[in-house]
Chains A and B, each alone.
Chain A
């Protein structure tokens, strides 16, 4: 079955550490996205990529980095520069068609906690 997989489900980070969240899709989608979710604040866009080897900053990119070396993969690194990283992180993918009905397909999320 096609889908989008995030791992790990739970992640703990010590102060000053970088951690990388994995996102893999086998839907042959061109575009991929990373969101951060905090209670009562909805979804905030961190980074997105519409094609391999290209990505753009979203609304809250500071303290995060991404890469898009393969169509299937869009890992997110939470760096030590991100001062408040505890949150639920969601990865999504979509076709890059301008027309059509396509929304996003979401992964099941990674909960990151600073310890």
Chain B
């Protein structure tokens, strides 16, 4: 099965860029996702990238995928206090059957004034 790893914490100042990193083991992963979880809430899909892409940009969010190193990152430009949350990366590979995703441990982003 797939393993997905993330660092647990990241602290940035408001207005700076945040970069949240993720490494995964399953090279057959077809889609990779970033989810955001605010306190006491469910996960909200932020963006996704297909494995044949290197980069995807969506407003303040930029996703970079390095397939050789199995490394995924999420850059948030002009980080705001409302971006404080836990961010999960997730991968969907060809193993495991169906549409089952494997989630990372989550990165707690804290935005300071």
Whether A103 contacts B45 by the Cβ 8 Å rule is yes
Tell whether A104 pairs with B45 under 8 Å between CB atoms, given A42-B105, A111-B40: yes
- Give CA–CA (A105, B101) in the complex, Å: 12
Q: Does B82 belong to the interface (CB within 8 Å)?
A: no
Specify which of A50, A94, A95, A103 is in contact with B48 (CB 8 Å cutoff): A103
CB nearest to B42 among chain A residues: A106
Expressed in whole angstroms, the minimum distance between the Cβ of B11 and any Cβ of chain A is 16
Whether B99 contacts A40 by the Cβ 8 Å rule is no
Name which of B98, B99, B104 has the most chain A CB atoms within 10 A of its CB: B99
Whether A104 contacts B8 by the Cβ 8 Å rule is no
Specify which of A6, A48, A98, A103 is in contact with B90 (CB 8 Å cutoff): A103
Whether B105 contacts A50 by the Cβ 8 Å rule is no
Q: Does B100 belong to the interface (CB within 8 Å)?
A: yes
What bracket does the count of chain A residues touching chain B fall in?
20 to 34
Expressed in whole angstroms, the minimum distance between the Cβ of A9 and any Cβ of chain B is 9
Whether A104 contacts B43 by the Cβ 8 Å rule is yes
Whether A41 contacts B105 by the Cβ 8 Å rule is yes
- Give CA–CA (A40, B107) in the complex, Å: 9
Whether A96 contacts B98 by the Cβ 8 Å rule is yes
Specify which of A31, A45, A96, A109 is in contact with B42 (CB 8 Å cutoff): A109
Q: Does B41 belong to the interface (CB within 8 Å)?
A: yes
Interface residues of B (CB under 8 A from A): 8, 31, 33, 35, 40-45, 48, 50, 88, 90, 92, 97-101, 103-106
